[in-house]
Amino acid sequence: MRPSILRRLLRRVASTAALVLVAATLSTVGAARPAAAVGGLQQVTGFGTNPGNLQMYEYAPADLPAGAPLVIALHGCTQTANDYYTNSGWPKYADLWKFAVVFPQTTSANNSLSCFGWFDPAEDTRGKGEAASIVQMVEHAKQSHGSDARRVYVTGLSAGGGMTADLLAAYPDVFAGGSVASGLPAQCATSQAAASGCQTGPQKLTPTQWGDKVRGSYPGYSGPWPRVAIWQGTSDYTVYSANATALRDQWTDVWGIGQTPSSTDALSGNTTRSTYNDASGKPAVQTYSVSGMGHGLAVNPGSGTEQCGTTTAYFLNTICSTYYTGVFWGLDRGTPGGGGQLPAPSGLQVTGVTANSASLSWDTVPGAASYVLYRNGTKVASPTSTTYTDSGLTAGTAYRYAVAAVDASGTAGTTSPQVTATTTGGTPAQCFTATNYAHVTAGRAHTTGGHVYANGSNENMGLYNVFVTHTLKESPAGYFVIADTGCTAQAKS
């Protein structure tokens, strides 16, 4: 055996210890194995020099048009390309929205637990190892399918999520967007010893320091930067939720947009979405915090447009993350960032409420054929006028609304900022002012990774201690939001 090959094999074996935390919880999936072509999943050989020793699998709809987007989907430890193809939901949307999907696969020949080397500079940096092999797959798929080079995206779970962040940092000229599910910030670990520490709580760096890790991955690059979605369960004790915060800090800093969300809304599956808009008002970074979810990819089996995937080990039945990620990227025929060409309607306001309805109005958008109205992040109506009354609501309850214009082709534009309508009647909202420690003790909030989150809204309240104080408003019962201004506390504790 040549010395260079022997050194590579020894390094692969040694690196296994750094992935114990990620791989241990995924071990029930079964031993890693080469994925056979199943159904529409096909193996591709001869895609390049393949310095990272990976395997390439892909799925492409039979009627795929030229100039379609391309998605790269990376599995987690002990998983295979076929596992991700079968359970993630990506083939469903490839058929629906017309794009190709490449499923790279690493095997026990690289790492005994089949983890992508997100912690290894020889594998996850520009021009090196597995990262270089994945980019060769991108180039091969672009040529064979005629994919649009401006619309190439990458997503991954766990170790695949860590590699996704590294790819976005090393190749911002290749990827227009990414989605990191239960993963790690770019270049969080650059050695075997540091990997486990990242998983349980990454370094306490400033947003600028996190951003510098991205900027240092491709020195001299000046943009545009990829648009990044971040998915994290609050009960993930394999890759702790502090990693989602670090990812948010990292990519908002790269975009230069700060860490205060432009909007926050509630989705199904106990999911809170926070959106950070760029200077033009389009989403650049989105975080999806799934309350109570452990380590895995969020799926929601079913036949609905917003449903996808199969529930099995580490594919967890909460919400279809693949759908929301695809919409965020614009794969549903919008533009990257989740919006079409039409601007967001201005002037959205609540014009009246009753015990079971809320009336709204907004300004006309030139070129709009209709509008789409969202309540708590879910589409509820498609009015053709600039007014709408939403009925069938619950008394004494706060609802958040946003609206987008739809052009003649059916493409929705940028979504407006949210407004809140509170129906009359019911039990009046109560406000509570207390320390974070007291809120948790009273059952109004919970802790994850040393931080406190409001029950219901899952808003981040800061560190779990007696020094940070917030006012929480309860409406409806059991649903708390931060209301430090404009809410007089009826009770203090």
β partners of residue 275: 263, 286
β partners of residue 448: 451
Distance CA(26)–CA(78), nearest Å, equals 6
Question: H-helix or E-strand containing 371?
Answer: strand 370-375
Residue reference for tokens 């193809």: 85
Domains of the chain: 13-329 (3.40.50.1820), 349-422 (2.60.40.10), 430-492 (no CATH)
Please give the chain's pLDDT, 493 residues, in tens: 443 444 444 444 444 434 434 443 343 333 333 333 344 899 999 999 999 999 999 999 988 998 999 999 999 999 999 999 999 999 999 999 999 999 999 988 898 889 999 999 999 999 999 999 999 999 999 999 999 999 999 999 999 999 999 999 999 999 999 999 999 999 999 987 889 899 998 788 999 999 999 999 999 998 899 999 999 999 999 999 999 999 999 999 999 999 999 999 999 999 999 999 988 888 999 999 999 999 999 999 999 999 999 999 999 999 999 999 999 999 987 544 444 467 889 999 999 999 999 999 999 998 899 999 988 767 899 999 999 999 999 888 888 888 988 888 777 777 787 788 888 887 667 899 999 999 998 999 988 767 788 887 778 898 888 888 999 988 777 888 888 877 776 555 5
DSSP code, position 412: B
End-to-end CA, the chain: 70
Residue reference for tokens 């090959």: 5
Determine the 3-state secondary structure of 474 from DSSP: strand
Q: If we measure between CA atoms, which residue out of 318, 171, 188, 317 comes closest to residue 242?
A: 188
- Give the strand pairing for 357-361 and 378-381: unpaired
Taking a C-beta distance cutoff of 8 angstroms, is the pair 73, 56 a contact?
Answer: no
Is 262 among the catalytic positions? no
Q: For 31-140, where are the E strands, in sequence order?
A: 42-44, 55-59, 70-74, 100-105
Report CA-CA distances (Å) from 474 to 90, 282, 319, 376, 491.
38, 31, 25, 16, 11
Taking the model in full, what pTM does it have? 0.67
Q: What are phi and psi of 20, to 5 degrees?
A: -60, -45
Taking a C-beta distance cutoff of 8 angstroms, is the pair 195, 204 a contact?
Answer: no
Distance CA(290)–CA(285), nearest Å, equals 16
Catalytic residue among 88, 147, 158, 291: 158
